[in-house]
Amino acid sequence: MTALTGHTAIPRPAAASCGAAVVTDVLITGSRRTPARAKDWSSQGLDHLVSVATERSNGPVASLERRALLAAFDAKVVGPILLAKHFAQLIAEKGSLLSFSGLAAWRPSPGLVAMAATNGSVNTLASALAVELAPTRVNAISPGVIDTSNWDTAVPDKREWFRQIAASAPVGRVGDPSDVSAAARALLVNPYITGETLHVDGGARWS
| Phi, psi dihedral angles at 11 (to 5 degrees) | -75, 155
Name which of 69, 87, 29, 77 is nearest 53 in CA terms.
77
Residues 20-60 have pLDDT tens digits of 555 565 554 444 445 555 556 556 678 899 999 888 888 99
Residues 122-173 have pLDDT tens digits of 999 999 999 999 999 999 999 999 999 988 888 889 999 999 999 999 999 9
The domains of the chain are located at 7-202
DSSP-assigned letter for residue 179: H
> What is 7-202's CATH superfamily?
NAD(P)-binding Rossmann-like Domain (3.40.50.720)
Residues 85-129 have pLDDT tens digits of 999 999 988 899 999 999 999 998 899 999 999 999 999 999 999
pTM for this entry: 0.83
